[in-house]
Amino acid sequence: MAKIVAKKSLGQNFLQDTSVIENIVMQSGVNKDTDVLEIGPGLGAVTDLLVERARKVVAVEIDDRLYHNLVKKHGDRDNFSILNQDILETDLSKIVTDNMIVVANLPYYITTPIITMLVENPCGLKSLTVMVQLEVAKRICADHTQKDYGAISVFSNYHCDTELLFTVPPEAFDPVPKVTSAVMKLTFRKEKAVSPRDEKHFFSVVKAAFSNRRKTLANCLMQNFKLGREEVNALLSSCGLSETVRGEKLSLEEFRTLSDKMLSCKK
Ligand code: SAM
């Protein structure tokens, strides 16, 4: 078969480094009792190990050249199946089984939409062990003491226990990307990290708090919720927060308190 040329437009950077591949699969915790959803199997560098170690592997690949290549390679295995489609158009509820994890070297041009979709609606998935750009991994795994903390950190840590596992240099891929990568693991929590009275309101407060990093939390709240200065200062004081605090300093628990107090004040 002729060499498959990587398509930049589909985020195709194929993993070459066998120690990185082994490390991803090992850290995912896959074993003979686990099913795996692999997003973007590409040439099958990770898939080859997964089919040896997992109970079952379901791969979703958008590129039909790569799809046909993998059907040829692993199509006769009982524990392997592959769908030739866009992961963002895939109905996960038809794929996810009782003990399924995601293992993937994600296409970077759609990392955030994929993670958001999986975290918001996991359909019973247990964890995601995924390679992403280092910058994205830092933002997703950050807490309020770190500079990369933002709305996506709150969102991810609300639903999952997050862990940045290790970084991967550009030379581990072909073609070589411009950025450094990292593997992170998101394990779905049995219970959310905090329990706000109204989840939708909680996330609207978080979104408002990070809407302008140059502004104080008070100013962001005034602007986004059409509140007066005195009202906001009283609210912050009732939460034990300073009038000059910035949104990026609040822990998930502090956001929960703020969100709940705002709802109480509305009454
Ligand atoms: N897993 C392979 C590896 O590690 O060498 C390939 C990883 S490459 C970074 C990303 C893969 O995702 C490519 O195979 C690409 O074709 C596939 N892909 C891109 N967009 C996709 C989408 N929307 N749905 C499913 N697969 C997609």
The angle subtended at Cα 170 by Cα 43 and Cα 106, nearest 5°, is 45
Banded pLDDT at 1 (limits 50, 70, 90): low
> Do residues 54 and 161 share a domain?
yes
The per-residue pLDDT for range 240-257, each reduced to its tens digit, is 999 999 999 999 999 999
> Do residues 74 and 45 share a domain?
yes
**Would you state the pLDDT for residue 213?**
87
Whose CA is closest to atom 22 on ligand 1? Answer: 86
pLDDT at 225 over 80: yes
In a domain, 55, yes or no: yes
Q: Cα–Cα distance between 16 and 13 in angstroms, integer? A: 9
Whose CA is closest to atom 18 on ligand 1? Answer: 40
Which residues span the domain enclosing 211? 199-266
Q: From the CA atom positions of the chain, what is the Rg in Å?
A: 21
In a domain, 45, yes or no: yes
Average pLDDT, stretch 186-212?
A: 98
CATH number at residue 204: 1.10.8.100
Average pLDDT, stretch 66-74?
A: 98
> Do residues 68 and 158 share a domain?
yes
In a domain, 193, yes or no: no
> Do residues 182 and 204 share a domain?
no
DSSP calls for 177-188 = PSS-EEEEEEEE
Residues facing 185 on adjacent strands:
129, 163
CA of 39 to the centre of ligand 1 (A): 6
Whose CA is closest to atom 23 on ligand 1? Answer: 86
> Do residues 154 and 246 share a domain?
no
- Give rounded-to-5 percent helix, strand, coil for the chain: 45, 20, 35
The per-residue pLDDT for range 15-25, each reduced to its tens digit, is 999 999 999 99
Whether the ω angle into residue 175 lies within 30 degrees of 0, i.e. cis, is yes
- Total structural domains within the chain: 2
> Do residues 178 and 205 share a domain?
no
**Residue 104 backbone phi and psi in degrees, to 5:** -160, 145
> Do residues 97 and 163 share a domain?
yes
The per-residue pLDDT for range 112-137, each reduced to its tens digit, is 999 999 999 999 999 999 999 999 99
> Do residues 182 and 224 share a domain?
no
CA of 106 to the centre of ligand 1 (A): 6
In a domain, 162, yes or no: yes
**Would you state the pLDDT for residue 265?**
81
Average pLDDT, stretch 164-169?
A: 98
> Do residues 146 and 244 share a domain?
no
Whose CA is closest to atom 19 on ligand 1? Answer: 10
Average pLDDT, stretch 172-187?
A: 97
pLDDT at 266 over 90: no
Average pLDDT, stretch 68-94?
A: 97
**Would you state the pLDDT for residue 267?**
61
Ligand 1 atom closest to Cα of residue 60: 25
End residue of a domain, out of 130, 163, 188: 188
Give me the chain's average pLDDT, please. 97
**Residue 142 backbone phi and psi in degrees, to 5:** -70, 150
> Do residues 180 and 223 share a domain?
no
pLDDT at 2 over 90: no
Q: Cα–Cα distance between 51 and 94 in angstroms, integer? A: 20
Structure pTM?
0.96
> Do residues 262 and 239 share a domain?
yes
